[in-house]
A = this chain, B = another copy of it.
């Protein structure tokens, strides 16, 4: 089965996804009878390209990495003239295949989730499935987008929003049927956990943050990490999906970390405790994101460096914990691939 894809956003995550798709091409064909063709790419600074016959994504990635423009790319077959990211989505919607997927990887806008929210809305309304690594749409408008998706019979998927490709939303939806989540509690931001781990060892705040930026783990604007916005967006997403929250990140009671948290982290370590940035929420109460001093036998206290963990308190299985010990671009890109396969598996003619 052929899937036509449009890549909206083509930064580190979008390009890694394009390469992962290429690396797994044979496995996808063999195990899922799935062939993917990218028919459009939209970037903010490197132009756009669109062709119903497909675009060479590896060539496109190399062009963008060399500072070039996608306008210079020679697509297979006839190129279509597109001016905006919305044009690329509209072109995808014209594809005759049943599997039309918009892969949205623009960066997080914490004010109003734009333009990601408009991209996702436009795609779902046009009858395209959506897989996004952007926290904004699910954190700001989950109910509205799910309603649109239900009307159009499309998928709105976002596994990569929390703990990258480690299953969180799929874990609950696919493997815990009839189980009700009552509350959650977790460490979901890698940059602040790395900084806190470094601070308690006596290391320097600025150096620790710079390491996360160098590894591409910190957000493009690192204040989104240290001020707790990234964790608040994830808490809003978790609350919306797992606890029927209907909230935005601005409803989260949010405290970030700063230089003064370093003093606290070192003092806590001298008492055998750990300071961690904890995101938590229960049904019918708003999420809280704040640094918390944890005793050593709290499993969140054991998370070092970029490790994340989420404790789900359930009505059937008590507390279930899912944890990501490693991270990186491939993990986020894999989340999009995993969403793509969720879409694929839901079609008739399943494996």
In the complex, how many angstroms separate the beta carbon of A347 from the nearest chain B beta carbon?
11
For A221, what are the chain B residues with a Cβ–Cβ distance below 8 Å?
Answer: none
Q: A299-B299, A304-B297 are in contact. Are A171 and B165 (CB under 8 A)?
A: no
A316 interface hit (Cβ, 8 Å): yes
Does A31 lie at the interface of the complex (its beta carbon under 8 Å from any beta carbon of B)?
yes
In the bound assembly, the distance between CA atoms of A322 and B331 in angstroms comes to 17
Is there an interface contact between A326 and B318, defined as CB atoms closer than 8 Å? yes
Q: Is the CB of A330 within 8 A of B316?
A: yes
Contact with A321, one of B31, B178, B319, B325 (Cβ below 8 angstroms): B325
Pairwise interchain contact A323-B320, C-beta atoms closer than 8 A? yes
Q: Would you call A271 an interface residue if the criterion is a C-beta within 8 Å of the partner chain's C-beta atoms?
A: no
**CB-defined contacts of A297 to chain B, threshold 8 Å:** 302, 304
A287-301 interface code vs B (CB 8 A; 1 in, 0 out): 000000000110100
The complex places the Cα of A322 from the Cα of B311 at a distance, in Å, of 10
| Shortest beta-carbon distance from A164 to chain B in Å | 7
Given contacts A167-B176, A171-B171, contact A316 B334 (CB under 8 A): yes
Chain B CB within 8 A of A27 CB: yes
- Which of A167, A317, A322 has the most CB atoms of chain B within a 10 A radius of its CB? A317
20 contacts between A and B (CB under 8 A): A24-B178, A28-B178, A31-B178, A164-B317, A171-B171, A171-B175, A177-B341, A178-B337, A179-B334, A296-B296, A297-B304, A309-B321, A311-B325, A317-B331, A317-B334, A318-B327, A318-B331, A319-B325, A320-B324, A322-B323
> Does A69 belong to the interface (CB within 8 Å)?
no
Query: With a CB–CB cut-off of 8 A, which chain B residues contact A24?
Result: 178
State the oligomeric state as a number of copies.
2
Contact residues in B for A27 (Cβ distance below 8 Å): 178
Any chain B CB within 8 A of the CB of A338? yes
Q: Mark A12-29, 1 if CB is under 8 A from B, else 0.
A: 000000000000100110
A255 contacts partner chain B, Cβ-Cβ < 8 Å: no
Does A260 reach chain B (CB closer than 8 Å)?
A: no
Chain B residues lying within 8 Å of A316, measured Cβ to Cβ, are: 165, 330-331, 334
Chain B residues, Cβ within 8 Å of A345 = 177
Minimum Cβ distance to chain B for residue A101 (Å)? 15
Check if A195 is an interface residue, CB within 8 A of chain B: no
**Cβ A317 vs Cβ B321 within 8 A:** no
Shortest Cβ distance from residue A126 to the other chain B in the assembled complex, whole angstroms: 25
Contact residue among B318, B326, B330 (Cβ-Cβ distance under 8 Å from A325) = B318
Using Cβ atoms and an 8 Å threshold, which residues of chain B touch A181? none
Known: A31-B177, A317-B331, A320-B324. 5 other contacts (CB 8 A): A166-B320, A175-B175, A311-B325, A318-B324, A318-B326
The answer for the CA separation of A248 and B166 in the assembled complex, in Å, is 30
Within 8 A of B (CB), among A80-112: none
Taking the complex as formed, is A32 at the interface, i.e. its CB lies under 8 A from any CB of chain B? Answer: yes
| Contact (Cβ within 8 A) B318 A299 | no
Question: For residue A318, which residues in chain B have a CB less than 8 angstroms away from its CB?
Answer: 324-328, 331
Contacts of A324 in B (CB 8 A): 317-321
Docked CA distance A131–B317 (Å): 18
Q: Does A170 contact B (CB under 8 A)?
A: yes
